[in-house]
Amino acid sequence: MTDTGGCPIMAEPKLDFGGTTPYEDYVHASVLHSLQQRWSSDPGEMSFLVITQIMELYFGLLCFEWRQAQTEMRADDLDSAVRTLHRSVLHVQGLNAAWRSIARMTPEEFNAFRANLGEGSGFQSGMYRHVEFLLGEKSASLLVPHRAVPAMHAELEEALARPSLYDDALGLLRRRGYDVPDSASDRDYTQPYQPDPRVEQVWTLIYSDRTKHHDEQRLGEVLTDIAEEFARWRYDHLLATRRAMGAKVGTGGSAGVAWLEKRVQRTVFPELWTARSYV
């Protein structure tokens, strides 16, 4: 709409909705902002609590995206799967960026509210466990902390027994004619994935000629992006913990930094890394 002089008329935003706003109905912002219940009087706890909750939301989003990518790979829709996986890379980057505002806590700052965590630990996050299972980091023993929450335990038990993101990628390659061994797809998915030199050869072939294997190389690269960003997440977690509490025992009873150092050494999607030595 324009006025008589030809200038556009700026419409005023609608202010009265006769109840809650459509934004509130869709986002539930008031619910989100009611979830920060500090257990100490220390103002630094608010940052720790909000960032932890943001990370939980990212874990849930990653699970959603990776399950979507699995559905697309099982339908042999490689373009859609790659698009979904690329979107998820940005989510992992957002997750990693969340560390920045709490990664430089001094021991004194962390100790100001640490005691209120009791035995609480990020290790007990059911959604983070689901993230690891989707990446192929499988361990039945890690279901134990969730036995008292039947819905979460059942969800994780199902995720433990299902193929990982990498399993589905290898299944797609096999259906596209690549010599992926039977043992890579016909196996006990509750067990951690074990590297196979024959799978390494498949990725070596794919990375040896981009012209012939362009689409499959796109899949390999976006999976490598995910693996790299997840490794960065683990390392940033290690550094933040080391900076805030040194080598003390973790709040959940783990070895703290020593436990995280072991996890940092683990690599997801292993043949995607080792195959590069032979190209």
Return binding residues for heme: 237
2-41 residues labelled b (16+ CB within 10 A) or e (exposed): eeeeeeeeeeeeeeeeeeeeeeeeeeeeeeeeeeeeeeee
Which residues carry a binding-site annotation for substrate?
Answer: 114, 251
Residue at token pair 């362009």: 214
Q: Distance between CA atoms of 23 and 31, rounded to whole angstroms?
A: 12
How many Cα atoms are found within 13 Å in the side-chain-facing hemisphere of 130? 25
Cα gap 247→7, rounded to integer Å: 67
Phi, psi (5° rounding) for residue 129?
Answer: -60, -40
Distance CA(164)–CA(89), nearest Å, equals: 17
Question: How far, in Å, CA of 221 to CA of 274, rounded?
Answer: 13
Using an 8 Å Cβ cutoff, are 206 and 255 in contact? no
- 127: which 2 tokens? 């959604």
Q: Which residues are annotated as a binding site?
A: 114, 237, 251
